[in-house]
Amino acid sequence: MTLDSPHALAPAQRLRRLEGPVGDFPFYNGLPVALSGWQWFFVLAGVAAGFAALVTPIPWPGGAWGPMIPALLFAAIPLVVLARVAPGHWRVLFGKVGWRELRLMVGFALLNIVVTMGVGLLLSVFAEVASNAAISQLATMGTGELVAFYAKTLPQLLGEELITVLPFLLLMTLLTQCFGTGRKRAVVGAWLVSSLLFGLIHLPTYDWNWVQCILVIGTARMVLTMAWILTKNIWVSTGAHIINDWLLFTVTVLGARLAAQA
């Protein structure tokens, strides 16, 4: 896309220091295609259906590997719906992965850990915080169960990025096309609201602790979404999310085993 294109972005339209110099978010501006209200409805329904497949207590078969099924559905359902409403264009969410993208994954993961630990420690001084039961159970898992758990998180964390990025793009469309909001404000609005929604869907995980989900989980989501805003590449935010969570899982497992040996 050249600078003389009617859809080209001038530097003043970008969020300073938070966006790369090239590329734009898809769909909200009609590129590569525009999605109608009904098409966005189906995309949002696909997001909801994927999330329901993940959290609904269905007795999946397969022992330790059974949870891989809902994790795969969590990511696959919204992608299939997007592929149906935007044939040939669902891949626009996924960019290339090179050394720059790998460095950004690591950088955003480390930044997220530092920021969320700081917010979490500050919150714990003033309010009670709940633990994540799934992470607590890692200490009691055997090697095979741990391998299955780590593997399951790969599609699940991609799904978590999709339930953030797709609503982000819907919000961008609503703000710019329906409310006439400027692009910069639309990006900030979509960033904040999608992060808030992400925090709220974690309420059952953290014992309905509203403050923790909004401040800690919402802040973590904002940092990870920065990777998407910078690169427009869902692989980068997904990779950062995976590195972030795997580091936390590994610290939990190693800490429990060292404590057991003491």
DSSP codes, 174-238: IIIIIS---HHHHHHHHHHHHHHHHHHTTTTTTTT-HHHIIIIIHHHHHHHHHHHHHH--HHHHH
pLDDT band at 155 (very low <50, low <70, confident <90, very high): very high
Query: Average pLDDT in the 108-113 region?
Result: 97
Domain range summary for the chain, segments of one domain joined by +: 19-261
- Which range (5-9, 46-50, 190-194) has the least confidence? 5-9
Residue 140 has pLDDT above 80, yes or no: yes
pLDDT (mean) for 22-50: 95
